[in-house]
Each structure stands twice: as C-alpha cells, then as structure tokens.
Chains A and B, each alone.
Chain A
Amino acid sequence: MTINEEPRNLEVDVRDSLLDLLRDHLGLTGTKRGCDQGECGTCTVLMDGRPVNACMLLAVDVVGASVTTIEGLAHDQLNAIQQAFVDSGAVQCGFCTPGMIMSAKAFIDRTLELPEEPTRPDVRQALSGNLCRCTGYQKIVDAVLSAYTHLRQEEATHV
C-alpha cells in the first residue's frame, strides 16, 4: 500500500485495523482513536481520496490502496485547510481536528471541481460523520469555507 505518498510493504496482524496499523505499528499517531467502532470520525483518513474510518477497515483489506493521513498534509508549511482551522479558532482540544481536517479536505477537493460554491449546509453535511464536542461546529464551518475560498482564488490565479 501507499501511505502519505510513500510505497510501503508491510506485514500485519490479521486482527489489526488500519487504525492499529497506522498508530501502533507506523507511529502515525495524528490519527486518533475516539471510539474504535466507527461512530466518532476521529480516525478519518483518506483512502484513494475518499474519507474513511480507519478503525472500521482491517489493515489486510487496504492492500494496494493509497492512504493519506493528517501527517501527509503539511509540506514545509501548513496547508490552506490547516491554516484556516488555526486562524478561525476552529481548534479547541484538538482531538477531532485531524479527522475533521481530512473530511474537510475530501470535501474541498471534490467541491473545487464543481462550478457552484458550497453553502454552510453543504459543509455541515460533509462533516456530519466527524463529532466535535468543544466548538459547536460554528468556527469549523467558518474555517472550511474560508479554506475553500482561499484555494479557489489560488486556483484562479494559477489558471
């Protein structure tokens, strides 16, 4: 499988989930374990660009896939979504943050390909699998829309 753009050949315990593999064997502890039963979204990673709960996949079933974790986002500097979360006050305890950002990334990547701008309800829908207990979600929705606007403008400048 490929993890954060690096091809890996791994031997895994058949009982281990993708989350166990990432956290316990590869030391990628940015992906969090909030419930271990697919309910809270803190373990969200991208598998071939789609957000998935890493706790709900057996590691052996991820053969051949490309997995992106929170550690794979920042290159030298924070990416636009991470920066928007910091600036908007969307981070409190931070435990939901990595998973929330991964869901936000999948949403923004998808939305940038569409002509229309996302609405607040669109963002809420996209993040509805990621629980947050600190923020009330208001500043998280602000952050995602602000990151979208920034990336849209950046895209326009490059074209």
Chain B
Amino acid sequence: MSEHRVIGQRLPRPDAIPRVTGEAVYTDDITFPGMLHGAVARSPHARARILQIDTSQAEALPGVRAVLTPDNCDLFSTEIFYPGQKIAAVAAVDRHTAREAVALIEVEYETLPSICDPLLAMEPDAPQVHPSKHPDHNNVCSFQRKERGDVEAGFARAEVVVEQTYQVGAAHQAYLEPHACVARFDNAGDLTVWTSVQGQFVARSGLSQILGLPLRSVRIVVPEIGGAFGGKTALIMEPIAATLARQTGTPVKIIMTRHEELADSHPGPACVVRVKTGALNDGTLVAESAEIIYDTGAAPGAPSGSFDRTRGLYRTPNFLYDIYSVYTNKLIPGAYRAPGALELTFAFEAQIDEIARQLKIDPIDLRLKNAVDAGDLSVDGRTYPAIGLRESLRQAKEYVATLERRPGLGIGIASGKWMNAIGASGVLLMLDEDGSVNLTSGAIDLTGVNTALAQVVAEELSIPVDRVHVRTRDTDASPYSAISGGSRTTYGTTIATRNALQKLKDELLQFAADRLSVSAEDLELSEEQVKSRDGSIAIPIAELAAAAMHSSRGPLTVTGSVSNPDWLADSHIFITQVAEVEIDPDTGQIRVLRVSSFQDVGLALNPLLVEGQIEGGIVQGMGWGLLEGLTFDDGTVLNDGLLEYKIPTALDAPDLRPVLIEIPSPDGPYGIKGVGEPSMVATPAVLANAIYDATGVRLIETPLAQNGVLPR
C-alpha cells in the first residue's frame, strides 16, 4: 500500500460546499451601487474599412453614459479583419439600454475582398489578410519543419503505404460561465478588475500595458471561475470595461452573451492534416510525412507549436512534418485543453489503424510493436524516462479481450501523448498559533489544485487535512503565479509548496530544538506534534507556533517558489482509450456506449479529482469529435447558440471508465504528472476508429456524427 497518509485519499473538494448552496461568488454576481453595464458593437463584414461612424442616436438615448469608437479610443480600429470584430462600445445604466444603444450606432463600411478557407488563402492570388512569412505560400502566419532520418528512403523501403487528408473543425470551449468582468477605479486612480481569467498576473501586466498604468495601480481579482479549458487566457472585454470605467468615473460590468462567445472568443482551431505512413509487412513503421495546416483566423492564435508535446508515440525512424498556420478572415483561435493535440492525434491514430487493417494485424499489437519506451527519443530529441505507453496498451488489450463482440458494435482503440508544463509559481505558508496552516497561492484553482495542496501540506506536517486552509488570493495579496494552463498548476504549485514546507519544517524543528536544548536532527513531526526520535519529548505544533510568535523568533512564515524557463517539464503523459460504439443499422445514428481511458497519471494526489478531470476530458473530446464544430458563412459563425452548437448532454455522454496508471515522473513531486489536458487528446481518434470497426467506413472529418454513418 501507499506510504502516504493523506496523499492519495479521495477527498471531496471543500470548495464544493459553497457551490452547491449558491453562495459561491462568480464575477457576474458582483455589483456596485450605480454600476454601469457595457456592450460592444461588431462588424458584420469579414474584411472592410470603416469610413464613418455615427453615434449621435446612441449618445442621445436616455441612460447612455459613454460611447467609445475608433475616433476616440485606440482599442478599436477602422480596419476590419473578421466578422464579429469589435468596433465600438457603450456604457449605460443597465444591460437593456447598453444593447439598445449599440444597435443605434450607424457605421458606413467599404467592404474589401476576404478569404476564409485556409487552403485557398495559401494560393498566390488569394487576398492578403496579413503579409506571409513563407516564400512560396500566401498568408502564412508561421511555419516549422520537423525532420529525422531520410523520409524518402523510408517510404522506398515501405511495403505498405497509407495516405489520407483529415479535417478537424474549430471547436469552442463552451465553458458555461461566459466571459465576465467588472472594472472600478478608486479616487487615487488605482484600478481593480474582477474577471474570469485563468491567469491573474498575466492579466495584470496586460492591462497595465494597454491602459498605460503602473503595475502597482492595477489589481486583478478572480472570483470563482465557471469553466475555462484554455478559453480564458486572453484579455477580451477587460480593457474596454476599464476604459469605460475611467471615462465615466463609475464601475462598469461587461458580460459576454452566448452569441458573442461563439462568434468572437478564442476557440480551438480548425486544422487540415495530410498524412502518409509507411510500414513493413511485419508492422514495423518506417516512414511518416505530414503537412499540417492550422486556420489561425485574423491574427496569430492557433497552437501550431505543440507538435513535440503531442507526437512521438512510435519508433518511426524517418519522418518529415511541415506545420503551417494560415491567416483567414475569421475569428482568432486560441488554446483549448491540450491545444493542438487532438487534431493531430485524430489524423495520426487513424493512419495507424489503417496500416493495421491492411496488414491484418490487431491494432493494439501494431501499436505495441512500435510503441516508444524508456530510452527512445521524442520528436524533439529528448530521451524518454520511464513512460506509460506500453502499460496503457497492455491494460487496454486486457480490457478489450473481456468485451463480447456483436453485430453493430464497434470497438476502437487510440493512443495519445501530452507533456505538462511547470512555469512560475510562488506560495506563502504561515503556521498559525493554533497549529493550523494557511497557504496562499496566486494560481487560479480550476481543477481542485487547492484541495490537493492541502493534502500535500497535511502529509508533510503530519496534521489533519482540515487544519490546512488553502486560498488563491488576488494580485495584491498573493505571490506571483503563471497562468493555470498546460496541466502545470498542480505540478508547479506542489513543487513550490514542498519547497516552502521544507523550510517550515526546518525552522519549526530548529525552534523546538533551541527551546529544548537538543539537536534538531533528533526531532521529527508526527501526529500534530514535534517529537524526539527516542520518544522522550512530544510538544504540540500549536504550542510551538504560538511560542514562536511571541518570542524573539517571530511568526513561522515562509515562502516557496518554482520556475522553469523552458516551460515544459520532463513529464511525458501517455494515454490509451478504448471506445465501444453502436451504430443504428437503419438511421446510421452513432451511439457511444462506453469510453475507457487508461491514463498514466504518475501518482494521483487525489484520485476522486483526477477521475473527474479524465471523465470531463473524455466527454469534451467526444463533443469535439462527434458533435461540435463552428460553421461559417464568409467568416461569420452560423451556429452561435447552444442549440445550434451542440455540446454533449447527459443523454449523449457515455459510461466512463477512467483507469489510473501510476508510473512516477522522474522530476515531478511525488512522481505526479499533469492530468487536466491529456484526457481528451485521443477521444475523436478512438471514436473514428470504433466507427470504422463497426461499419467499415472511415470518417475523416469532424464532427463525425454530422451525417450519421451506415455500414458498408
């Protein structure tokens, strides 16, 4: 059994209690007397120039207090690059009036040629969105090449070659809480912004730059946050709310509507992947090439840099990958849970299945034959430490063997990979006079990280977990922390907390040793006490904490920090999923019965929360793969409500089987690995592979369920 006492326990989150009573405060729950409400006007055109804006009617509407346009505010531009681009803003006494005023703004546009298809945008005669960074293609925002061995020689050796073009549509994070912010200036000119973002310090520096305010004059407070999944990393409405608040001298709230969320936030990007894979007749993979084209919309935003994080599952000796992101006149994508990974996994894992079918090798066996292991190289040339790909495949194989085959049932398999980040985080640890502990963090808690940190503190100090109080506080009150994303938060803040705990233990034991005239080395922490190893001394931690506070020693307060300038940890998370789907032979309707996920989590600090992350990720991956995809008409989002943009309901969601594999990460605290993001990377791939198993039809475009599928 585990050598840990509190770590590894399935503890419910204490912060779930205010969430079930309705007491938990989210940004939209905050109001101030006299507070104004903001709303923005948007361009209906994909590419245009504003010739004239007439705001006289809007300004004349009773209750309107301020109108911002390109004429009086540099947050707005007269150059339009996508439909939905913000062109003006209003502050008014209530939401209804603000929206009414927006509708009264009259704009005269000169429309210009636009381009919305990324493949066409690369053609030489395509309208230019922004200057291209590629000598041979138009509208290229970024380009990278990844290469190893001799790919041509590899294909020449191959005895079977498969080739296909896959398309993944843009998908929205669809967090249930829309973007929300409240901005308020005090009389000294200092700004406080309550906002729903994943990183409060990056929001602070961004706002300070945009508004020309010293960093010290900006305070960010992040109340409870109603889902984010990568979609709440950028500033969207905050600069506008703050500018309206500065101009009116009154607090201003802006809440995005669901329509605005779908039409102009930062969803996961659309992506086209052309892949060619070659193998020998015994299943050995010998060559792979791909051309990957992300649609980055009107500005850089597509996560085209995550290739190395998500590929490198097989020992393919020769490869050549070209990765483009391409400008179009559409909304600007951003991060969505394991950004960039799901699109690529969908394409590459379909190819592995195709090879397996052609060679009549079991798809799990083909993967096992080629799977990387400790000592193999990743795409970016790292040597893998102990990793979990083979173990996840082995457990998946065992599970599949227990399933009963029947007509109409499809069983699919797919594997995936992700790497978590570390980033920068500080924590402040205080031992109070009753022996309880207060831990202050600047990292936004999206996933239950503060519950896990309480377990870490309780473990290390030998105190009950309910004696540990962990809180994320605002940018004035807490140590710096990087954004909560990249599956870094628990990983990074646990390292920082352990560093702080080591200092606290050292100082506490030294203080006790000095009082008792013994050596600190003879003392240890056990059962809320400092004890001598020979058992002759036992003093409650509470007594020592209070004594320290009132002695020349002073309160026991320490800090802990972590950073990793390279961002990524040497933490390689592998996952294998098995999907069981059923196809209605008459209608072609696809029903997902069960998805099992065999994920290497390193070590689960709190399996209840880890399972929750995996379960949620599977259903998000299923949504993107099966049901979801933004649809466009000349760049305008057509499905801009949750009836048209369908995310999975409780009826769509399958039975979920998260299986935790624990292969410790060599540099993770306690061996933990990031868990938030990897859970969804393989789900669209596993569903397509299961549908193929059931029907013999290979679906190559998401959403897979858009037309149903009939058996061949």
Q: Which residues of A contact B (CB under 8 A)?
A: 15, 23-24, 28-37, 39-40, 42, 69-71, 73-74, 78, 82-83, 85-89, 91-98, 101, 123-125, 127-141
Complex: chain B residue closest to A139, CB-CB: B612
Complex: chain B residue closest to A33, CB-CB: B28
Determine the chain B residues whose CB is within 8 A of the CB of A97 once the complex forms: 19-20
Interface core residue of A31, A36, A95, A139 (most chain B CB under 10 Å) = A95
Determine the chain B residues whose CB is within 8 A of the CB of A98 once the complex forms: 19-20, 22
Nearest CB of chain B from residue A137's CB, rounded to whole Å: 4
Given contacts A29-B29, A69-B22, A138-B655, contact A40 B642 (CB under 8 A): yes
Nearest CB of chain B from residue A46's CB, rounded to whole Å: 13
Given contacts A74-B21, A140-B650, contact A89 B641 (CB under 8 A): no
User: Is A32 within 8 A of B176, CB to CB?
Assistant: yes
User: Is B176 within 8 A of A133, CB to CB?
Assistant: yes
- Measured in the bound complex, the distance between the Cα atoms of B307 and A9 in whole Å is 61
- Measured in the bound complex, the distance between the Cα atoms of B656 and A123 in whole Å is 16
User: Is A40 within 8 A of B656, CB to CB?
Assistant: no
Complex: chain A residue closest to B644, CB-CB: A39
Interface core residue of B446, B615, B647 (most chain A CB under 10 Å) = B615
User: Is A36 within 8 A of B25, CB to CB?
Assistant: no
User: Is B20 within 8 A of A82, CB to CB?
Assistant: yes
Complex: chain A residue closest to B13, CB-CB: A91
Q: Which residues of B contact A (CB under 8 A)?
A: 10, 12-13, 15-17, 19-26, 28-29, 31, 96, 173-178, 224-229, 255, 257-258, 446-448, 608-609, 611-612, 615-620, 641-643, 647-651, 653, 655-656
Given contacts A133-B227, A136-B619, contact A101 B176 (CB under 8 A): no
Sample (13) of A-B pairs whose CB atoms are under 8 Å apart: A34-B177, A73-B21, A85-B20, A86-B16, A92-B616, A93-B224, A94-B16, A95-B176, A127-B649, A133-B174, A133-B229, A136-B619, A136-B653
Complex: chain B residue closest to A101, CB-CB: B20
Given contacts A85-B20, A89-B612, A133-B647, contact A35 B653 (CB under 8 A): no
- Measured in the bound complex, the distance between the Cα atoms of B26 and A87 in whole Å is 22
Nearest CB of chain A from residue B39's CB, rounded to whole Å: 13
Determine the chain B residues whose CB is within 8 A of the CB of A33 once the complex forms: 28, 178, 255
Residue from B17, B25, B175, B615 within 8 A of A86 (CB atoms): B17
- Measured in the bound complex, the distance between the Cα atoms of B16 and A78 in whole Å is 11
Nearest CB of chain A from residue B489's CB, rounded to whole Å: 14
User: Is B258 within 8 A of A37, CB to CB?
Assistant: yes
Determine the chain B residues whose CB is within 8 A of the CB of A93 once the complex forms: 175-177, 224-228, 446
Nearest CB of chain B from residue A153's CB, rounded to whole Å: 21
User: Is A34 within 8 A of B20, CB to CB?
Assistant: no
User: Is A89 within 8 A of B226, CB to CB?
Assistant: no
Having A39-B258, A42-B176, A74-B21, one finds 8 other A-B pairs with CB under 8 Å, namely: A29-B26, A32-B28, A33-B28, A86-B13, A125-B651, A137-B653, A138-B656, A140-B650
Interface core residue of A70, A127, A138 (most chain B CB under 10 Å) = A138
User: Is B258 within 8 A of A139, CB to CB?
Assistant: no
- Measured in the bound complex, the distance between the Cα atoms of B436 and A95 in whole Å is 30
Determine the chain A residues whose CB is within 8 A of the CB of B616 once the complex forms: 92, 133-136
User: Is B20 within 8 A of A133, CB to CB?
Assistant: no
Residue from A28, A29, A91, A131 within 8 A of B16 (CB atoms): A91
User: Is B20 within 8 A of A36, CB to CB?
Assistant: no
Complex: chain B residue closest to A126, CB-CB: B650
Determine the chain A residues whose CB is within 8 A of the CB of B258 once the complex forms: 34-37, 39-40
Residue from B17, B228, B647, B650 within 8 A of A128 (CB atoms): B650
Determine the chain B residues whose CB is within 8 A of the CB of A124 once the complex forms: 650-651, 653
User: Is A141 within 8 A of B19, CB to CB?
Assistant: no
- Measured in the bound complex, the distance between the Cα atoms of B31 and A37 in whole Å is 22
Given contacts A89-B612, A91-B20, contact A132 B618 (CB under 8 A): no
- Measured in the bound complex, the distance between the Cα atoms of B612 and A19 in whole Å is 30
Residue from A42, A78, A127 within 8 A of B17 (CB atoms): A78
Determine the chain B residues whose CB is within 8 A of the CB of A139 once the complex forms: 611-612, 615
Interface core residue of B19, B20, B173, B447 (most chain A CB under 10 Å) = B20
- Measured in the bound complex, the distance between the Cα atoms of B176 and A84 in whole Å is 22
Determine the chain A residues whose CB is within 8 A of the CB of B20 once the complex forms: 70, 78, 82-83, 85-86, 91, 94, 97-98, 101
- Measured in the bound complex, the distance between the Cα atoms of B178 and A39 in whole Å is 13
Residue from A24, A37, A40, A135 within 8 A of B615 (CB atoms): A135
User: Is A128 within 8 A of B96, CB to CB?
Assistant: no
User: Is A136 within 8 A of B656, CB to CB?
Assistant: yes
Determine the chain B residues whose CB is within 8 A of the CB of A130 once the complex forms: 650
User: Is B619 within 8 A of A137, CB to CB?
Assistant: yes
List of 4 A-B pairs having minimum Cβ-Cβ separation, nearest first: A30-B22, A95-B226, A94-B19, A136-B619
Determine the chain A residues whose CB is within 8 A of the CB of B227 once the complex forms: 92-93, 95, 133-134
Complex: chain B residue closest to A16, CB-CB: B96
Residue from A29, A39, A78, A89 within 8 A of B611 (CB atoms): A89
User: Is B22 within 8 A of A31, CB to CB?
Assistant: yes
Determine the chain A residues whose CB is within 8 A of the CB of B608 once the complex forms: 89
Interface core residue of A78, A85, A93, A136 (most chain B CB under 10 Å) = A136
User: Is A39 within 8 A of B642, CB to CB?
Assistant: yes
Nearest CB of chain A from residue B257's CB, rounded to whole Å: 7
Nearest CB of chain B from residue A69's CB, rounded to whole Å: 7
Interface core residue of A94, A140, A141 (most chain B CB under 10 Å) = A94
Complex: chain A residue closest to B28, CB-CB: A33
User: Is A91 within 8 A of B22, CB to CB?
Assistant: no
Nearest CB of chain B from residue A83's CB, rounded to whole Å: 8
Nearest CB of chain B from residue A120's CB, rounded to whole Å: 8
Determine the chain A residues whose CB is within 8 A of the CB of B642 once the complex forms: 35, 37, 39-40, 131
Residue from A24, A78, A138 within 8 A of B21 (CB atoms): A78
Complex: chain A residue closest to B620, CB-CB: A133
Given contacts A32-B176, A34-B258, A138-B656, contact A91 B647 (CB under 8 A): no
